Amino acid sequence: MFRGQEDIFFAILRSIAWGTSADVPSDVDWKALLKLAARQKCLHAFSVWTKANRIVTPYDQQLQSGVYVLLGRHARLNHLAVEVLSTLSQNQIPATLIKGASIAGLYPDPDMRDFGDVDIYVGEENYHRAAEIITAAYPQAHWHSDIRGGIHYILVLDENQDRVVELHRVTMEFHDKKADALYQDFTRKYMAQPSSMTLGDAQIAVPSAAYNALYVYMHAWHHFESTGVGFRQLADWALCLHQAYEESSPQAWQNLCSEIDAILTALHMKTVWQTFGHVLVEQLQLPSQEFPLYTQAYRNRAKRLLRQLLRDGHCGRTAKFTLGDIGLIRCFKYERPTKNRLLQKMYTVSRIIFDSCQMAKLFPCLAWHEFIATLLHAAKK
């Protein structure tokens, strides 16, 4: 028996992820349900799902119009991905397509997983040369980022941002040197043995499911701790874990769990991982044996996490201060000052305090660790 829009939402999301059936009551409030799906970055998936299951909604015209536009964009991005990977291959640069289309292939219907750019991992050794080659290959590019900073180089090929390439030096980066070293070793190990998939007429390299078991989570966490993460990314993660479990021998699975445990422990995030895992098992019905380090010890915390996930959605939590947050920030108009060094330091400390307090609501131990680590990192700049 359904108890509300959230139950119907999860029933449909499970159907999308696992290819199972979902009974939808005839009196469903489609406006509220689709609003929830949009907040969770699942509206495209729901639109494709309703059409595939011949379910009529009062918003079919708008939904299918949106599907048509996004599927056209997917086709252009897939073509662009093959182009870029081919160019890099011709220049002897190993490259792996991450996120986006590589995750879409895990869904029973890949059309249900939307994406907005082409993400390619090239590694630190080939990063600068790859960026120079791809920039030269698209001389009419609309905009590009600074090649010297950040974890990736962004190339926007048109003014509508309809064709965007991101070349990744690393997939994630952490302030903690020990944790970062463990994660980068993990990345180099698994990226050296990628899987493959067919995209158009080409066979391309994609991350192994074992690598995605951790990476997709870390990417989702990055969104969660800043502006909020939607259940589309958590569904991605569940599918990656399922595939990794299915493809691994018992010994390989045990080794993967040990590697993940070591990295999470170094990051002080094992409790966080296990809390999210309870949400995946309960709401997305991922079998508990397919979740590394699964425990029910954080059930109550997982309920609070679920409420926050449903409330915030994808990028629904503002990253800026509001008037009631920290009074010190008001005179800065919520933006980091650009010229006065003293004011910059005052802003940074206030911001660190605010972010730590936000995290402490769910994960107090991690919040304390992050508070100290971020203060030390900021002091070095």
Domain range list for the chain: 209-318, 327-380
Prediction pTM value: 0.90
Q: Each residue's pLDDT tens digit in the chain (381 positions)?
A: 346 899 999 999 999 999 999 989 888 999 999 999 999 999 999 999 999 999 999 999 999 999 999 999 999 999 999 999 999 999 999 999 999 999 999 999 999 999 999 999 999 999 999 999 999 999 999 999 999 888 999 999 999 889 999 999 999 999 889 999 999 999 999 999 999 999 989 999 999 999 999 999 999 999 998 889 999 999 999 999 999 999 999 999 999 999 999 999 999 999 999 999 999 999 999 999 999 999 999 999 999 999 999 999 998 876 544 434 444 444 444 456 666 777 777 777 777 777 777 788 788 888 888 788 777 777 776
- What is the per-residue pLDDT across 156-189, written as a single tens digit (0 to 9) for each? 999 988 999 999 999 999 988 999 999 999 999 9
Q: What was the pLDDT predicted at 110?
A: 95
Label each residue of the chain as H, E or C: CCCCHHHHHHHHHHHHHHCCCCCCCCCCCHHHHHHHHHHCCCHHHHHHHHHHCCCCCCCHHHHHHHHHHHHHHHHHHHHHHHHHHHHHHHCCCCCEEECHHHHHCCCCCHHHCCCCCEEEECHHHHHHHHHHHHHHHCCCCCEECCCCCCCEEEEECCCCCCCEEEEECCCCCCCCHHHHHHHHHHHHHHHCCCEEEEECCEEEEECCHHHHHHHHHHHHHHHHHHCCCCHHHHHHHHHHHHHHHHHCCHHHHHHHHHHHHHHHHHCCCHHHHHHHHHHHHHHCCCCHHHCCCCCCCCHHHHHHHHHHHHHHCCCCCCCCCCCCCCHHHHHHCCCCCCCCHHHHHHHHHHHHHHHHHHHHCCCHHHHHHHHHHHHHHHHHC
The pLDDT, as a whole number, for residue 337 is: 64
pLDDT digits (tens, 9 = 90+) for 4-59: 899 999 999 999 999 999 989 888 999 999 999 999 999 999 999 999 999 999 99
Structure confidence at residue 362 (pLDDT): 87
